[in-house]
Structure 1
Amino acid sequence: MLHLRRAIPIAVRTNTCRFFSASQAKLNARKGLVLGVYEKDGEDSNPHLTDTAVAFDGTVSGKLSEVLKISGPPLKKGGNRIFYGLHEDFPCVALVGLGKKDAGVCGAESWDTCKENIRAAVSSGCRLLQDLELAHVEVDSCGDAQSSAEGAILGLFQYDQLKSKKKTKVTTRLHGSGDMEAWHKGVLYGEGQNLARLLMEAPANYITPTVFANTIEEQMAPYTDRVKVHKRGQAWIEEQEMGAFLSVSKGSDEPPVFLELHYNGCPDHTQAPLLLVGKGVTFDSGGISLKPPSGMDAMRADMGGAATVCASIVTAAALKLPVNIIGLAPLCENMPSGKATKPGDVVRAKNGKTIQVDNTDAEGRLILADALCYAHTFNPRAIVNAATLTGAMDVALGSAATGVFTNSDWLWQQLHKASVVTGDRVWRMPLFQHYTKQVTHSPLADLNNIGKYSRSGGACTAAAFLKEFVTARHWAHLDIAGVMSNKDEVPYLRKGMSGRPTRTLVEFAAGLTSQV
């Protein structure tokens, strides 16, 4: 809480410089406001406020425009300023730069620039007000209430559950008479991604396979009228003859769980379901092929595929999407022990194919192999799996986009279309026979889990391996290793686990509702 003497009636904060007013007293008991401003056009010296900001300016007799002109250079995209004392109900007003007003879809960037600018700007304004310990913030729709809500919800998230000192919890709402339905949709999209971030960020001793499954079951509790949750134990996994999955889990004392979610959003029960499959390794030590210790702590998020898949189904249920979705998440730890699979061992997958395991750190493809086989039993409309599968994917694309390997042009188009809207991009990668030949070259078994040339095209050979367990016409593998975490690449996400591409999966599922 800030305690301040009376000062000038209106004050401004630009970057790190602050000038305070009496209106700042007891800020956390009052509200803040985030408003947008566009970059100026040509020689026009007047600030281009959003419609909401113009309306607010009218309530304060033009003081907002006046103080914005004298506060410094014009606000550029991503810039921000805080003004104090403008309005009795809002002691703090954050102005955020939205960039050019006419920005739209950019083919070169494969996203909607306007939506991305709004998300980034709104998140920065909300964080500024959170830093001032304001507990309630109203937000300008900036012409796109959904993107504005996503920026607010995603920007304010921070994993501090295990810290004694926590960030101020901020409640947000739409300011003015904007599109409340779009705002609510954006809130649900943002909260869905934050659920995935919460699961991925939590330490592995807090999120075990069992705890992960229980957490998702709790999240699904409000939707029991249209959601069924099945938590399958080891006995069921053995009955299903999922030998590849069991070969990964047996090195750990934590029992494996095969989580199965059924969301029935379409009253037409004859509609074939969309199958979403997520890799759920809640901690990946590498097994006997032990990883280097540096950075191994991040492997608590090796269940990012399961986190994004499950979070997207929770979001679909909250949105009441008219589509049927089945989610599968094989959950386990990959640990070294006397029971663990050894390099050179041969295991048998659910479809009967044998696999020579030459590297136990290539375990994600093993648990996905059995899950993909099981997915086919539901006669799915399409199968999409997500996994933090290969470091090679991070090398190839970094954090710019999720790599997509697919046997279906239609499925690729749907995923790409969704990613342009969300700004959480995807990029198509090859599924050449060139890579298939490498994983089918094995002296002891039908397949080898790392391929003939283990260091070359690692993301591609991993995808080729998975393809050996797919017969569906529409299948896509999303390698999300490169987008697993965020440093400063995505401005509306704080540093940490990203929860990507949850919103793209939700938008993709929503898009299927209009498909025949």
Structure 2
Amino acid sequence: MMMLLPLRTVLQRSVSRSCCRGFSVSPQTYNSGKKGLILGVYEKDKEEESLVFTSAGDTFDNVVSGKLRDHLTRSGSLVKKGKTRIFYGLHEDFPSVAVVGLGKKSAGVNHDEHWNESKENVRTAVSAGCRQMQDLEIAHVEVDPCGDAQAAAEGAVLGLFEYDELKKKKKKVVSTQLYGSHDNEAWQKGALYAEGQNLARYLMEAPANHLTPTKFAEVLEQKLGKVGSNVKVFTRSKTWIEEQQMGAFLSVAKGSDEPPVFLEIHYSGSPNAKESPLVFVGKGVTFDSGGISLKPSSGMDAMRGDMGGAATVCSAIVTAAALKLPINIIGLAPLCENMPNGRANKPGDVVKARNGKTIQVDNTDAEGRLLLADALCYAHGFNAKAIVNAATLTGAMDVALGSAATGVFTNSSWLWTRLQEASIVTGDRVWRMPLFEHYSKQVTESALADLNNIGKYSRSGGACTAAAFLKEFVTAPHWAHLDIAGVMSNKDEVPYLRKGMSGRPTRTLIEFAARLSKDKSST
């Protein structure tokens, strides 16, 4: 990225040429330069206060002789939180200036909401400003750090993403960069966090005929091949899966003509090569028809995103490698389709997992836990400091929490605390759910096998019984299961994400890994 001159120097060089044309000028007149500027403004805490700009906003307003403040004052209403107002002709270098509402300057960690409200306000405001610039077909936008350059970068990069890979008409590409600040390191960090989540969104959004298990592995190999020599990718074939005796995983995969893949990623970022790794495990069902227990056709197209667990954990590792985090991470992603051909699992079938436990499959649409059972058994061979799995596992999780937070089931308060702390920073919240013995009894009492994949009471506590099922394949002292079914997609709940697959909680996983890399108590 080009080094920027100090803000005041840049503006003073051209102030004699700048002019203000008022409110009547059309956008087309001043968009010929295709360069925009986004500045933040806070809500007034007291009625008698004047407008409260950010530092960059104040400097810009001084250079244009107070015209920005004057225009905002004369408009008669404040720029509300998350909203934008755009002005033309204030400055020759920036034909279009968007002022975005940041809410209260005093905002910080909101303990009731379990997130940093200030960071969320910045993400939302910058996202709104960037989208408005995109709608105006402005190609280059400079962004006020708004007091938090990382959050500003996340808002810009997340807000502009849209999956239009297969459309003839595509959205205008907008390049963004930090404006008037030397906090480039935080900006670049935020951009990488957001690009990681966008990679997960890209993978989840891609149609199932374009992103098969084999293609998923190829995309990750390509991405990881660009981030350094300390990353190794192993694409395990069906033969290897059979050798590992992953009977539960194979029982799901056999219903599809697409071959299964077990993707294994090793990122060695710690200076101590022997340091125990963090292990991420992600459910990778690239399309889930439900199998013989067929899903309703309405909304089934969204099941292309049922590999969201694999998408988020793999994207988090790509970002960790790009950030050069000093930690070792292993990623495991069992990838397959769940389809209803003549070889598919039938309700009542019994299959055997890698650890020798038998499973009665009473519902073939509860397939994700079968993949994860074998992957979790395999994960225990790495002497992990923690095992974290993510999966779009149950509709019951969506019923319980909706899209407000990812449900976390864990046997470790140490691990829970670190996941929660990370989520407060990212705004992509987590919420702890119970792992009571009450639920374990429901899955361990089976007529034909050691375990039942849906339990005795299939409609009661479905997210909890699914977690209890996974717990039967865990002996590690620090394990967490993230059920991300409720946060799989976005309608309008997260204002800085467009409608579609959300890629959540990729940034929380990245932040968790970043914090763990500095946490000496974890080794």
TM-score norm. by structure 1 comes to 0.96
Match of 1:400 among 383, 401, 404: 404
Q: Which amino acid aligns with 1:143?
A: G
Match of 1:196 among 197, 200, 207: 200
Q: Note if 1:318 corresponds to 2:325.
A: no
Aligned counterparts of 1:42 and 1:267: Cα–Cα separation in 2? 52
Q: 1:98: how far off?
A: 0.3
Deviations 1:313-351 (A, max 9, x none): 000000000000000000000000001111100000000
| Counterpart in the other structure of 1:287 | 291
Q: 1:366: how far off?
A: 0.1
Q: 1:77: how far off?
A: 1.1
Match of 1:448 among 440, 448, 452: 452
Q: Which amino acid aligns with 1:20?
A: V
Q: 1:223: how far off?
A: 2.4
CA contact (8 A) 2:30 2:96 kept: no
Deviations 1:220-267 (A, max 9, x none): 011241100000000000000000000000010000000000000011
Please list, as runs of the form range in 1=range in 2, the aligned pairs for 1:494-509 lying within 5 A after superposition.
Answer: 494-509=498-513
CA contact (8 A) 1:30 1:89 kept: no
| Counterpart in the other structure of 2:305 | 301
Q: 1:41: how far off?
A: 2.1
Q: 1:29: how far off?
A: 4.4
CA contact (8 A) 1:227 1:264 kept: yes
Q: Note if 1:20 corresponds to 2:25.
A: yes
Match of 1:77 among 60, 78, 81: 81
| Counterpart in the other structure of 1:64 | 68
Please list, as runs of the form range in 1=range in 2, the aligned pairs for 1:285-434 lying within 5 A after superposition.
Answer: 285-434=289-438
Over aligned residues, Cα RMSD in angstroms?
1.1
| Counterpart in the other structure of 1:483 | 487
Deviations 1:57-95 (A, max 9, x none): 122111111111112311221221000000101111000
CA contact (8 A) 1:341 1:360 kept: yes
Aligned counterparts of 2:278 and 2:433: Cα–Cα separation in 1? 22
Q: Note if 1:36 corresponds to 2:40.
A: yes
| Counterpart in the other structure of 1:262 | 266
CA contact (8 A) 1:281 1:333 kept: yes
Deviates more, 1:177-186 or 1:304-313: 177-186
Q: Which amino acid aligns with 2:393?
A: L
Deviates more, 1:41-50 or 1:297-306: 41-50
Aligned counterparts of 2:227 and 2:462: Cα–Cα separation in 1? 40
| Counterpart in the other structure of 1:15 | none
CA contact (8 A) 1:141 1:178 kept: no
CA contact (8 A) 1:33 1:90 kept: yes
| Counterpart in the other structure of 2:186 | 182
Aligned counterparts of 1:243 and 1:29: Cα–Cα separation in 2? 61
Q: Which amino acid aligns with 2:96?
A: C
Q: Note if 1:55 corresponds to 2:66.
A: no
CA contact (8 A) 1:28 1:133 kept: no
Aligned counterparts of 2:286 and 2:30: Cα–Cα separation in 1? 43
CA contact (8 A) 1:116 1:423 kept: yes
| Counterpart in the other structure of 1:16 | none
Number of positions where the alignment pairs a residue of Structure 1 with one of Structure 2? 502
CA contact (8 A) 1:137 1:173 kept: yes
Deviations 1:446-476 (A, max 9, x none): 0000001000000000000000000000000
SS at structure 1 position matched to 2:481: strand
Aligned counterparts of 1:101 and 1:372: Cα–Cα separation in 2? 45
Q: Note if 1:10 corresponds to 2:10.
A: no
Aligned counterparts of 1:108 and 1:482: Cα–Cα separation in 2? 20
SS at structure 1 position matched to 2:235: strand
| Counterpart in the other structure of 1:136 | 140
SS at structure 2 position matched to 1:185: helix
- C-alpha change, 1:28 and 1:324, in structure 2 (3 Å) is farther
CA contact (8 A) 2:33 2:95 kept: no
Aligned counterparts of 2:98 and 2:299: Cα–Cα separation in 1? 37
Q: 1:26: how far off?
A: 6.8
- C-alpha change, 1:380 and 1:95, in structure 2 (3 Å) is same
Q: Note if 1:209 corresponds to 2:213.
A: yes
Deviates more, 1:36-45 or 1:405-414: 36-45
Please list, as runs of the form range in 1=range in 2, the aligned pairs for 1:106-185 lying within 5 A after superposition.
Answer: 106-185=110-189
Large movers: runs of 4+ above 2 Å: 8-12, 23-30
Q: Which amino acid aligns with 2:31?
A: L
Deviations 1:171-223 (A, max 9, x none): 00000024100000000000000000000001000100000000000000112
Q: 1:43: how far off?
A: 2.3
Aligned counterparts of 1:180 and 1:364: Cα–Cα separation in 2? 41
Aligned counterparts of 1:195 and 1:252: Cα–Cα separation in 2? 26
Q: Which amino acid aligns with 1:10?
A: R
Aligned counterparts of 1:72 and 1:345: Cα–Cα separation in 2? 69
- C-alpha change, 1:11 and 1:479, in structure 2 (3 Å) is farther
Q: 1:427: how far off?
A: 0.0
Aligned counterparts of 1:117 and 1:11: Cα–Cα separation in 2? 29
Q: Which amino acid aligns with 2:25?
A: F
CA contact (8 A) 2:30 2:95 kept: no
| Counterpart in the other structure of 2:6 | none
Match of 2:235 among 225, 228, 231: 231
TM-score norm. by structure 2 comes to 0.95
Q: 1:9: how far off?
A: 4.2
